[in-house]
Structure 1
Amino acid sequence: MTGTTDEDPVLVDARNDAGEFGLAVPDEMTGSLLSTLAAGAASGGSAGAIAVTPAAGVVGLYLLAGLGERGHLTCIDPEAEHQKQARATFTAAGYRPGRFRFLPSRPLEVMGRLAHGSYQLVYGDMRPSDLRAFINAAWPLLGDNGVLVLADCLLDGTLTDETRRDRDTTAAREADEHVRQMEDALVTRLPLGAGMTILTKRPAPGS
């Protein structure tokens, strides 16, 4: 795979496959940002990334494109069929099996068993009700200056609408407030998708 534009036939096929499953995928602009973030994570050499999303075929292509030859990607999703398709996609793109692995588990059940401080990027496409728990599970996995990407977590800006008190909006609002209180996080919010939040993990003082 030499690029991550929509003209890349492997990416086109991955998007079509995701569409058949009814899965939301990042647009080209968001995908380019993911590749850039992954490249930044890999600038120090070998880098590990985690993608928690049912659309791992598309998200993974963007991340792998940025991670470089020494980077590796862990995809977490309980649906075996999604992972089977993503595996075929990565193989078609020319990535060798050692560059990626799949954990067919519920994310919040398996993330606690992963090595703390061993990853440079974690991407999550989560239901609002799971957002805060996901943030708490992902944060210890990141090393200093690691990046946590929360896709579509701002619900198109409706978090500030005080008349919205449905369960999803309330959960997303609580997760966003939790992020605001994280003293070791540099927080960036972008108008991509339904609203993306990027958290960069600040090194501990004196480290």
Structure 2
Amino acid sequence: MSDTAFRTLSSYITGTTDTPPELADARSDAGEFGLSVPDEITGSLLATLAAGAVTGDSAGAIAVTPAAGVVGLYLLAGLGERGHLTCIDPEAEHQKQARTTFTSAGYRPGRFRFLPSRPLEVMGRLAQGSYQLVYGDMRPSDLKAFINAAWPLLSDNGILILADCLLDGTLADDTRRDRDTVAAREADEYVRQMEDALVTRLPLGAGMTILTKRSTPAS
């Protein structure tokens, strides 16, 4: 597909996607804070992945991002009535705004909770194997540690989503040796060597990586 065709198709999809008022407001709020948020196409994928994560009577998802208001709306839409969402971010103001957003969208408090903590400090205290989806928007320098913290939390066939982790493809430039590029490159190489993960990398945002946790064979 040519670049022109890709842009045309992206514009068509975006232009024909309905944006609920609460999502538009959440995007506006994120803009005021200077936060990066997923575009409509990426958001639709998040909702679809969350819907696929719902098995049995319930499903648990984690969103580690300062833009929980936007990301959370997509995830909650996919999770449906049987899902619950845990949002982790150290900035109380971001979480306060996200709470208002979820409530305005009609989600009852039991569907979501907020942990105003540093992600890598609190994730180790969450129940292992109890979540079906984890979304993370992390600094490149924290990516590998985040992966190692998130992976044990996922159940078999659970999904780990790494947003904007490929730095617009600058990882391919071997002359780039700055700290962020090196860290992102090392994290990308790390996930591609994980034997218990199915790895999918997509040209969404600055580059998204999706890891599916393979089922543990029965002994």
With the shorter chain as reference, the TM-score category is over 0.9
Whether 2:172 is the aligned partner of 1:126: answer no
Amino acid at match of 2:69: G
Q: Is the contact made by 1:77 and 1:83 (CA closer than 8 Å) also made in structure 2?
A: yes
TM-score relative to the length of structure 2: 0.91
1:44-75 per-position Cα deviation (integer Å, ceiling 9, x unaligned): 33100000000000000000000010100000
Amino acid at match of 1:20: E
Q: Counterpart of 2:99?
A: 87
| Map 1:105-184 → 2, pairs under 5 A | 105-184=117-196
* Alignment RMSD (CA, Å): 0.9
Q: Is the contact made by 1:6 and 1:28 (CA closer than 8 Å) also made in structure 2?
A: no
In 1, the alpha carbon distance for the partners of 2:48 and 2:19 equals 18
Cα distance, 1:6 vs structure 2: 5.1
In 2, the alpha carbon distance for the partners of 1:8 and 1:201 equals 32
SS of structure 1 residue aligned to 2:86: strand
Q: Is the contact made by 1:76 and 1:106 (CA closer than 8 Å) also made in structure 2?
A: yes
In 2, the alpha carbon distance for the partners of 1:46 and 1:33 equals 20
Identity of aligned residues (%): 88
In 1, the alpha carbon distance for the partners of 2:70 and 2:193 equals 32
Whether 2:16 is the aligned partner of 1:8: answer no
* Aligned structure 1 segments of 4 or more residues deviating by more than 3 angstroms: none
Asked which structure has the greater CA Rg, the reply is 2
Whether 2:49 is the aligned partner of 1:34: answer no
Amino acid at match of 2:96: K
TM-score relative to the length of structure 1: 0.96
Whether 2:177 is the aligned partner of 1:203: answer no
In 2, the alpha carbon distance for the partners of 1:33 and 1:83 equals 23
In 1, the alpha carbon distance for the partners of 2:190 and 2:18 equals 36
SS of structure 1 residue aligned to 2:82: coil
Q: Which runs of 5 or more structure 2 residues have no equivalent in the other structure?
A: 1-16
Cα distance, 1:198 vs structure 2: 0.1
1:14-49 per-position Cα deviation (integer Å, ceiling 9, x unaligned): 000000000000000000000000000014331000
In 2, the alpha carbon distance for the partners of 1:43 and 1:69 equals 12
1:154-177 per-position Cα deviation (integer Å, ceiling 9, x unaligned): 001111110111000000011111
